[in-house]
Copies of this chain bind each other. A is one copy, B any other.
Amino acid sequence: MQKFFYPRRVAVVGVSEDPANLAQGIVANLLHFQYQGKIFLVGRRPGATFGLPIFPGLADLPEKVDLAAILAPARVVPALVRECGQLGISRVVVESAGFSELNEAGRTLEEEVRVALKQYGMRLVGPNGLGLVNLEIGLALPFAQIGSRVHRGRISIIAQSGGVATHVLAWMTKEGLGLNKFLSLGNKLDVAENEVLEYLLEDPGTEAIYVYLEGMQDGRGLLKVANRATKPIYLHLANVGPETAAIAQSHTASLTTDERVLEAACRQSRLIRVKTQSEFLNAARLVGQPPLRGNRVVVFSRSGGEAVVTAYACRQFGFTLPPLSETLVQSIQARSRAGVIRPTNPIDLGDVFDFTLYTDIMAAVCRDPGVDGVLFHYGPVADFEREPARKMARRMLELAREAKKPLVITVLCTLDEENYLRDTLGAPVFHFPEDAVQALALSRDLAARRESLSLAEPPPLQKLQKAAAIAETLAGPHPGGFLPLAQALTVIEALGITVAPWAAAMSPEAATAAAGRLGFPVVLKLSAPSLIHKTEAGGVELDLRDAAAVQQAFARLARVARSRLPPREAWQVVVMSQVAGGQELLLGARRDDSFGPVVAFGAGGVDTEILDDIALRVAPLNPAQARDLMAETRIGRILAGARGRPPADLDSLSQALAALSQLMLQFPQVREVDLNPVRGFPGKPGLVALDARIRADGPA
């Protein structure tokens, strides 16, 4: 990537004298940002623009360039790329559209380009993007204006949409935040987000990274890169939502929409998920500030009302406002005009006009080990207060920096004062308290995850003991799709997870005999590949207390099979001991398109969707992590023994989840596992799985 961001000679390909020529925009940007290298123009017709000659071909350039930025019709791009290869230009940026995003012909063009890249050992950014920017050297390759007032700063951007990146950049500029590097991914024909991210994490000029994606090529790779990060990475993935989950085929799948996987992945990594552009812009104002290493903040304000509003926002984001130390209380009381109200946190300084008290409070708060950060609402400043107010702000920021605690300021004052606070003093300045609090919350969450992730051992990957048996069962005669129930239960038992005693039965007589062996009452379950929701289809017969009941139930299931299943579809009946009591749980796993194997735990039973109490974690997970996963759900807290009751067997449950994780890792043909219900019993050891669905690819 270094060669992309630091070229010394750049060729802009596709330039003409025509005023509507888009490639001129690239030249204009390079000139505007005073690119420190040399610029060469290439176009079909010789001529000149911006006082630079247009050469007819890359081969005609007087010097060898390091990078070619191409904005020419898609159909000529493969030839241009090959030419670059022949001339030893190893880095190419293609901004032209008309490739795979458009049609099949465009896809073929990309294929041609890919072949050329491989043949010449070249790398390519794009196509169908805005190229890249490096303001360290004034390199600005977008053909569109990126804002004339964009200036060099500490934040870098990786984006899959030029429009979103431009919007964010415009706002960063408005808020006084500068850009370091920017790369527009376009169609990601070659260079994709993980590689760029890895580079920017090492890049000395970059202190924080905004990543806007609409699709993710390798979510697990992203997690790996992110978890080495010592800089904040703000991940904005907008193209998530219920739509993409519509294809889901079973409980686990339909409850674990992509958005939930994304949330889980970020929570267990150093990625900071932002859901909107403004959330990133809020967070960006804290870049360069000390991280918030805890949950306790002090709010102080010249307006009592704003103090209340800020305190409310703090509670919304999970902050606590600790009481003030006795010394501080007395010092405020002694020096306020009225002098009789006992100050609380939030501190209302409405009747305090002595700014040295503000800095005294700040000093005391910074010293207090019980306070992690400070929010200060800086009200309207009268003309005669301006100089003392500026002095106060400067001192407060010094105190915060010395104490390594973040100080954020919400302001309502003139633009001049705001600019002074932000640009001259380097204070993070917000207009609304809720924005300031949101930014602090993101800082706190990242700091907390850095802490917990650095403490966490890598999960011990305990290989499955009965892997051979599982492989054999999975390889059994099935066409791909859902395994017959008996096969699925066999796999689950091989994972070391207890299943209620069961037997497959192909006739009423076999079912009756099995029920006799297992002991009454029993349940009968119909299993067939196309029968996903057994209960609703009438495929489950409960509470069968004698042989006659079993026979009748078998007959009913056979009728269901005949009437509901496609002709010739194989079906089977499983007889199972009926288990009473306990809590109904769901344990599951599936393979997410972006993040790979994901494990799920939560409230099970037929009402799983309504209960909406499922937590996810990207695999692998060890039993300790499985316990954390369980604790994220309401049912998990109930199982842990709420209100003085004995806990359920959390060991067995966490081992079962770790085993599911391992199944997904060792057997890539398994697409999805869904154990619902599993029963856990408060105060009793063990667990019992009562049903299992496994979807797997058939043997190749």
Contact = CB atoms under 8 A, between A and B. Distances in A.
A542 to B, nearest CB: 12
Contacts of A309: 164, 238, 276-277
Given A242-B315, A431-B171, A643-B536, A304 B606 contact: no
A457 interface: no
Nearest to A608: B643
Nearest to A415: B174
A98 interface: yes
Given A171-B431, A312-B238, A643-B536, A306 B606 contact: no
B163 A306 contact: yes
A645 interface: yes
Most buried by B among A164, A311, A612: A164
B642 A340 contact: no
Given A276-B434, A607-B638, A638-B607, A303 B239 contact: no
Given A171-B431, A315-B242, A637-B610, A163 B303 contact: yes
A103 interface: yes
A316 B167 CA distance: 21
A379 interface: yes
Contacts of A611: 634, 638
Nearest to A634: B610
B645 A305 contact: no
Contacts of A566: none
Given A212-B305, A338-B102, A340-B103, A316 B275 contact: yes
A620 to B, nearest CB: 29
Contact of A412 (B166, B350, B610): B166
A606 B645 contact: yes
Contact of A305 (B164, B170, B435): B164
Given A161-B304, A611-B634, A167 B643 contact: no
Given A171-B431, A642-B610, A380 B312 contact: no
A451 to B, nearest CB: 26
Contacts of A634: 607, 610-612
A240 B350 CA distance: 21
Contact of A340 (B102, B242, B431): B102
A412 B431 CA distance: 19
Given A98-B338, A163-B350, 6 more contacts: A161-B305, A161-B306, A276-B309, A535-B643, A536-B643, A607-B638
Interface of A: 97-98, 102-103, 144-145, 159-167, 170-171, 212, 214, 238-242, 275-278, 301-306, 308-309, 311-313, 315-316, 338, 340-341, 350-351, 379-380, 412, 431-435, 535-536, 606-607, 610-612, 634, 637-638, 642-645
13 contacts: A144-B380, A145-B380, A166-B412, A171-B431, A212-B305, A238-B311, A275-B316, A275-B434, A276-B309, A276-B313, A276-B432, A276-B433, A610-B642
